[in-house]
Structure formats: structure tokens, C-alpha cells
């Protein structure tokens, strides 16, 4: 009988092998920095929230060496600059980007102030951009990240649909506008997913976890509607980060 077997019979468990702590870099735009979820500390205009899903992930994984680089307003070019800070020791990188490139702010402005047709037209322009121009920009970003962190797992994180259609909101945007905006998000999601797959990355689709918690849904809202400060409108709340973003990320990372 081996010594190991004797120890097991005596109930003297040998120490488990230590799991190497993650070296995690969180890149991206306002949906990763946590705009809308408050508690921004000293992050200035980047608005990196203590309630954002990257910070929640780091908090829940003891020993994580965490670098929070996501910043409000970031486009693909900005994320390329963020990627310069990644080290070859990285084992996990998350990124959300593309919405600002496709004109997220202008879409919401046009849909808020214009007619139904103005909104549909602007969303269609954004869809064209997402389909024809954004893929190349995303590929450049993903390739840059992979070159900086060849041994890291790259996870691309998507965006939620904003609205429940039809929903419980009696005022605000028409259902035609809400449907158009959701449709634009669906097109962007398809592009993000396809480009992530092509880059060998994992895509995390958060639309399901936000379903029933979108603006105008009957359940607890995970998204701010039109609010002040204005830049926090249409961004996840504290609950949106914790219940909408974190669970699908945790589902693929453990």
C-alpha cells in the first residue's frame, strides 16, 4: 500500500495543487468601464466603476492581477492604444468595442429628436457601417491583443438590446424606434460574434441575460433610460453589471 493511499485512508488529504492566479486585462468602452453603475473613484472621464463586470470578476477570483483599461467613449483606435499596456504575462483579456465606431451616440440622438423614419434611416446607416467597415477594425484590434498576449484567453463581450418591444413604457420613443435600435444592436452582435470566432476568441452574448430587464420591460431594469448625466443613459445599472454582464462572463470562465 502506497504512502499516498495510507494518507487517504487516514483522512489526511494532501494539499491541492495551487491554481495559478489570473493576470487579467480589461479593455474596451463604457460598457466595460461601467458607465452608469457609479462609484468611479479617481478614474476621471474614463468612468471606471467599482461595480463594473471586470472589477466584479477580479473581486471574485482571489489573487487576480488586474489591470482596468476600459474607458468611456473608446473606439477601436482607442482600444488599440489600451492594448499597448498588455503584457505577455496576460492569461485573460476581455474587450467590448464597436458601438462608438458605429455611431451609438448619434443614433440615440437622432432617434430621440427625429421622426420614426429619421431613426430608421440613421440605424440603417449604422448597420451598413457595422457590416462593411467595422469587421476590419475589429480584426485589427483582436489581432493586436493576441500579439501582445499570445497565451491569454481573449473574450469579446457584446451589448444588450435596449428595449422590450412592446413594453410597459407609456411615453418616450415609439415602438418603431425601439425596434429599429434593437435591430441595429442585433446586427452589431452578429458582426462581433463572427469576428471573434475568426480570431479564435470567445464571444459572450449578453442579450439573453438582459431579456426581461430591458428598458420598458416589466422586470427590474438593468439599463438606465434617458438620465442625467446624459452619458449614463442606455448604460447598465449596478444590477445590469452584476446580473446582466457578470453571469454570462463567469459562465465561460468559471
Q: Which residues form the catalytic set?
A: 30, 235
- Nearest residue to 214 via CA among 160, 150, 156: 160
Question: At what angle are helices 134-148 and 116-132 packed, to 10 degrees?
Answer: 50
- List of residues 6+ apart from 136 with CB closer than 8 A: none
Q: At what angle do helices 175-198 and 116-132 cross, to 10 degrees?
A: 0
CA separation, residue 215 to residues 46, 69, 110, 168 (Å) = 24, 28, 18, 9
**Which distant-in-sequence residues (6+ apart) come within 8 Å of 142 by Cβ?**
95, 154, 156, 195, 196, 199, 201
Amino acid at each position: 500500500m502506497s504512502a499516498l493511499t495510507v494518507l487517504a485512508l487516514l483522512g489526511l488529504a494532501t494539499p491541492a495543487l495551487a491554481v495559478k492566479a489570473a493576470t487579467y486585462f480589461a479593455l474596451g468602452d463604457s460598457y466595460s468601464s461601467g458607465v452608469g453603475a457609479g462609484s468611479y473613484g479617481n478614474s476621471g472621464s474614463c468612468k471606471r466603476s467599482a461595480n463594473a463586470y471586470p472589477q466584479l470578476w477580479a473581486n471574485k477570483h482571489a489573487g487576480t492581477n488586474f489591470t482596468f483599461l476600459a474607458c468611456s467613449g473608446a473606439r477601436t483606435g482607442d482600444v488599440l492604444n489600451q492594448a499597448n499596456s498588455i503584457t505577455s504575462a496576460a492569461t485573460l483579456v476581455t474587450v467590448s468595442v464597436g458601438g462608438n465606431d458605429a455611431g451609438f451616440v448619434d443614433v440615440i440622438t437622432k432617434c430621440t429628436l427625429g421622426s420614426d423614419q429619421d431613426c430608421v434611416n440613421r440605424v440603417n446607416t449604422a448597420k451598413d457601417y457595422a457590416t462593411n467597415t467595422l469587421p476590419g477594425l475589429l480584426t485589427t484590434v483582436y489581432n493586436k491583443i493576441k500579439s501582445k498576449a499570445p497565451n491569454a484567453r481573449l473574450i469579446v463581450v457584446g451589448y444588450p438590446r435596449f428595449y422590450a418591444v412592446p413594453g410597459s413604457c407609456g411615453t418616450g420613443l415609439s415602438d418603431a424606434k425601439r425596434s429599429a435600435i434593437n435591430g441595429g444592436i442585433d446586427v452589431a452582435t452578429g458582426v462581433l460574434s463572427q469576428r471573434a470566432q475568426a480570431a479564435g476568441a470567445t464571444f459572450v452574448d449578453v442579450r439573453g441575460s438582459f431579456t426581461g430587464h430591458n428598458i420598458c420591460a416589466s422586470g427590474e431594469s438593468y439599463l438606465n433610460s434617458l438620465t442625467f448625466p446624459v452619458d449614463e443613459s442606455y448604460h447598465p445599472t449596478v444590477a445590469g453589471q452584476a446580473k446582466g454582464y457578470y453571469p454570462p462572463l463567469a459562465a465561460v470562465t468559471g
